[in-house]
Amino acid sequence: MKRGRHKRKSRTEIAKLKDKLWELCKLVIRKRDGDTCYACGKSGLVGSNWHTGHFIPSVACGGFLRYELRNLYSQCYNCNINLGGNGTAMTRNLVQRQSQDFVDQIWRDKQNLIKVDIHFIKDKIEEYTKYSECSQKKLNEITFRHVKKVSA
């Protein structure tokens, strides 16, 4: 082997499955939320400006929430990258559109520690493959089914 050239490591099966799961997450979230940033409301998101962001950031949310639909939302590049998820606006919008209880439950679920193993990932891929065929209305029902709306 020549100096400076390294044998490229082959990707593990679990890494490939995580990539597949993330692609399904993006597909489902874009179908559910449309091309509008959940944080700032900017519409017409396309290409590299259309992100799938985490309400509780992926570095802090743990395995349980990393691929959880309640924690994932369409976001513009500015909110997701430049503003680190724009947590203040995301929280405000989640409380207004869902409820404070909904937001509080996501924060409580952050404490759920699970091992993201190959079985967990394969189960999520199977589940989200089915969800990818659902309508936007059905995806909203699935995501927000436990929300108790408070009448004004």
pLDDT in tens, 40-94: 999 999 999 999 999 999 889 988 999 999 999 999 999 999 999 999 999 999 9
**How high is the pLDDT of residue 148?**
52
Query: How far apart (Å, rounded) are the C-alpha atoms in residues 125 and 28?
Result: 11
More confident residue, 9 or 112: 112
> Taking 80 as the threshold, does the pLDDT of residue 10 lie above it?
no
Q: Terminus-to-terminus CA distance in the chain, angstroms?
A: 71
**How high is the pLDDT of residue 145?**
84
Let me know: does 77 contact 49? Beta carbons within 8 Å. yes
> Taking 90 as the threshold, does the pLDDT of residue 133 lie above it?
yes
Amino acid present at 120: F
**How high is the pLDDT of residue 150?**
45
Query: How far apart (Å, rounded) are the C-alpha atoms in residues 38 and 50?
Result: 11
Assign 8 a pLDDT band (cuts: 50, 70, 90).
Answer: low
Instruction: Give pTM, 2 decimals.
Output: 0.87
Amino acid present at 151: S
Strand segments (E) across 18-118: 50-54, 72-76
Assign 4 a pLDDT band (cuts: 50, 70, 90).
Answer: low
DSSP 7: P
Query: How far apart (Å, rounded) are the C-alpha atoms in residues 74 and 83?
Result: 14
State the residue for tokens 């593990």. 12
Assign 1 a pLDDT band (cuts: 50, 70, 90).
Answer: very low
